Amino acid sequence: MSAVMEPPKQNAAADYINQIFNLVKAKNPAEPEFHQAVMEVLESLRLVLERHPEYQENKILERITEPERVLMFRVPWFDDKGKVQVNRGFRIEMNSAIGPYKGGLRFHPSVNLGILKFLAFEQVFKNSLTTLPMGGGKGGSDFDPKGKSDNEVMRFCQSFMTELCRHIGPDTDVPAGDIGVGGREIGFLFGQYKRLRNEFSGVLTGKGLAWGGSLIRPEATGYGCVYFAKEMLKTRKDTLEGKVCLVSGSGNVSQYTVEKLLDLRAKPVTMSDSDGAIYDADGIDRDKLAFVMDLKNNRRGRIKEYTDKYKKAVYQATDKKLDHNWLWNIKADCAFPSATQNEINAKDAANLLKNGVKVVSEGANMPSTLEATKMFLDAKILYGPAKAANAGGVATSGLEMSQNSMRLSWTREEVDERLHKIMISIHQNCYETAEKYGTPGNYVNGANIAGFLKIANSMLDQGLV
Ligand code: NDP
């Protein structure tokens, strides 16, 4: 019998995991989000490490938690008053075992090294699940596009790309959008890359349709998250039809989550931004969604304006002193957190469960704290963790890369069908892996283990690099 099959001592894997977690904390102090993301994955891997001692022998966990490369740079730019502004830029190239680094850029004042490391780490596993050949990376800046003019955003993007362009390329590292980086920002970044490198290539995804973008890429994360919820419900012979759904955020992911929920005859009733949330008991229909899209994507206004237009809806301002989020305490069947990390804490999770929520499908990255995650798992509701449920965005970025390489464009229907198939396959992989490792219905274990195995085995195949 090969060494792979010999059962190691029961607690050897648990010891190894503890040792790695302490190492990660010591080497990356003051990065709690990164610790959280690593902890969640490590907890799932105990079962794998017990069956596969070769991962410990080859120090796969030490290697997988250490970025292959971290870039940090100064981004100077002029504001509209001619004053010098200075921001900090980052790119974390986390793991390239199965393809070029791939992952979004986030522009938000909260951005720091720890947040980007957590996002890059998550991205590695997520990309592995998509069935496509993409490594993991993430980047961004503490620049806040909110309240800036288009010219200021352009000057910032140009300065950011002037440094970043040395490190990325269609076969090396392919960034995309994330919070604060939408079509406008991708356009400015792409334009500057093209100018500096004299090269028109698929170096970024989320591009405009006329210059290499893919149909369905803007919709993909939200659509994919709803497709994932639909697959989870199917395992209990249920559908989304008529289900009351809570959606947080009002950006890219939230908007297309609401749209797909409407397609599947569910009833979305909430949206939010960092200032507050709206609740519309009658449901957010297509006309109301069109209003939100115009408000957010063109007028760049605040969600509060929804209640100026739709008087029956109610608005609740964010209260930082509260120990829970008002939006998660509304009676519903399903929840689609689509704003940001740690937006569902233990109290929110308790409220959701108390109010009868049976499905949580995560559009945002790591929106649930470790305590909230555990409560969902213990309650045995259908809980789709971000790395699986929101993988449709990066999967469609992968489809954009394929179209760029082939220099052709697929139709809307073709891309949507591929996205749908990918989400079905991610769901099946997580479902079957969870079962194989003795925790049926636990999509957290399923996603972490399935994502890990492909990366770890590729790293073993490629030697010590
Ligand atoms: P957008 O910038 O388009 O929208 C973000 C939304 O979340 C806005 O409504 C924003 O409100 C709100 N928000 C952001 N930060 C906070 C905060 N700290 N507190 C409260 N609300 C906040 O981003 P996306 O929709 O692209 O991204 C949303 C989430 O989805 C993120 O976690 C992202 O990492 C994840 N994701 C995105 C993918 C994509 O394809 N875009 C792919 C996979 C995951 P405000 O305008 O007031 O800041």
Output the CA 423–ligand 1 centroid distance in Å.
Answer: 21
pLDDT (tens place) for every residue of the chain, 465 residues total: 334 444 445 578 999 999 999 999 999 999 999 999 999 999 999 989 999 999 999 999 999 999 999 999 999 999 999 999 999 999 999 999 999 999 999 999 999 999 999 999 999 999 999 999 999 999 999 999 999 999 999 999 999 999 999 999 999 999 999 999 999 999 999 999 999 999 999 999 999 999 999 999 999 999 999 999 999 999 999 999 999 999 999 999 999 999 999 999 999 999 999 999 999 999 999 999 999 999 999 999 999 999 999 999 999 999 999 999 999 999 999 999 999 999 999 999 999 999 999 999 999 999 999 999 999 999 999 999 999 999 999 999 999 999 999 999 999 999 999 999 999 999 999 999 999 999 999 999 999 999 999 999 999 999 999
Q: Residue 56: CB within 6 Å of ligand 1?
A: no
Phi, psi for 233 (deg, rounded to 5): -60, -35
In testing the pocket of ligand 1, which one of 111, 148, 216, 253 has its CB within 8 Å of the most ligand atoms?
253
Q: What is the DSSP letter of 5?
A: G
Task: Name 241's Cβ contacts closer than 8 Å, sequence gap at least 6.
Answer: 264, 265, 266
Phi, psi for 463 (deg, rounded to 5): 75, -175
In testing the pocket of ligand 1, which one of 121, 319, 340, 390 has its CB within 8 Å of the most ligand atoms?
340
Output the CA 338–ligand 1 centroid distance in Å.
Answer: 6
Q: Residue 127: CB within 6 Å of ligand 1?
A: no
**What CA–CA distance (Å, rounded) separates 169 from 154?**
21
> Going from the N-terminus, what domains does the chain have, and what CATH number goes with each?
13-64 (no CATH), 69-201 (3.40.50.10860), 220-384 (3.40.50.720)
Residue 451's closest CA among 400, 396, 386? 386
Q: Residue 251: CB within 6 Å of ligand 1?
A: yes
pTM: 0.95
| The ligand 1 atom nearest the CA atom of 272 | 9
Task: Extract the tokens encoding 94.
Answer: 């986390």
The three-point CA angle 61-36-10 to 5° equals 50
138 in catalytic set: yes
Contact 331, 358 (CB under 8 A): no
Q: Would you state the torsion angle of the CA atoms of residues 232, 236, 237, 239, taken in this order, to the nearest 10 degrees?
A: -50
Phi-psi region of 170 (alpha: psi -120 to 50; beta: other; left: phi over 0): alpha
Residue 188's closest CA among 174, 206, 171? 206
The dihedral of CA 389, 391, 395, 400: what is its sign? positive
Task: Extract the tokens encoding 75.
Answer: 């981004």
Distances from the Cα of 394 to the Cα of 123, 276, 451, angstroms: 9, 28, 14
Q: Would you state the torsion angle of the CA atoms of residues 273, 350, 324, 139, taken in this order, to the nearest 10 degrees?
A: -50
